[in-house]
Chain A
Amino acid sequence: DAKTTQPPSMDCAEGRAANLPCNHSTISGNEYVYWYRQIHSQGPQYIIHGLKNNETNEMASLIITEDRKSSTLILPHATLRDTAVYYCIVRVASAGRRALTFGSGTRLQVQP
């Protein structure tokens, strides 16, 4: 699985968009980008995933650059409940049975 690089921490004002970057310059053509988040005292929660195209769901939007070497998770209107650690994970979708590998993630603090 490709290695990812994320900033260790970020701040965002409540109500503003939170843009969380992830660098995955060694990504292969068949590797997906996944995002999970972990709110304090809870297990990680799936947010979104994508391959090439930008994706949007009820939680967030995922923007993947054309060369696929980086991506950005966008929380359009951050709330205090979005304060969490956000993990960017890159891996092949059909990688047999191997589990997801988590890095250290980005700690997002949403400020009131």
Chain B
Amino acid sequence: EAGVAQSPRYKIIEKRQSVAFWCNPISGHATLYWYQQILGQGPKLLIQFQNNGVVDDSQLPKDRFSAERLKGVDSTLKIQPAKLEDSAVYLCASSPGPDRGATNEKLFFGSGTQLSVL
């Protein structure tokens, strides 16, 4: 079974530039998550999709961050314009769906995109 794919693996940009990250979840997984992980901290949820609808984007800085999940499969996360404090690893995860009891909480993560904003 293929895992969650993310690209690029690394990205270096200057502040005020824009950047986009791509995620391809595990086939058949209805739920897709984007997490931000700042060095030394645990991952923090940015946005959660159920199929192609947004379930939770309460912690997404909407003035600069946007995300979409086309056709309920792949997803892109964009930052425009980037700030220094956006330097972090951006993790994508997927899970089967919301209605399968405890086993639903098994999230599968990609390796992330490490973003450096200079």
Contacts and interface: CB of A to CB of B under 8 A. Distances in A.
Contacts of A45: 109
B31 A94 contact: no
Given A44-B43, A46-B107, A101-B45, A94 B101 contact: yes
Nearest to A41: B111
Interface in A66-112: 85, 87, 91, 93-94, 96-105
Interface stretch (B12-20, B48-56, B61-69, B79-87): B48-56
9 contacts: A42-B111, A43-B91, A43-B109, A46-B108, A49-B106, A97-B31, A97-B48, A97-B56, A98-B48
B105 A44 contact: no
Contact residues of A: prevailing secondary structure: loop
A102 B102 contact: no
Interface of A: 32, 34, 36, 41-46, 49, 51, 85, 87, 91, 93-94, 96-105
Interface residues of B, number: 29
A73 B104 CA distance: 20
Given A97-B98, A102-B42, A91 B105 contact: yes
A87 B44 CA distance: 13
Given A96-B98, A97-B56, A46 B106 contact: yes
B42 A104 contact: yes
B113 to A, nearest CB: 11
Contacts of B35: 102
B41 A104 contact: yes
A98 B98 CA distance: 9
- Residue from A32, A43, A44, A100 whose CB has the most chain B CB atoms within 10 Å: A43
Contacts of B102: 32, 49, 51, 93
Nearest to B50: A97
A85 to B, nearest CB: 8
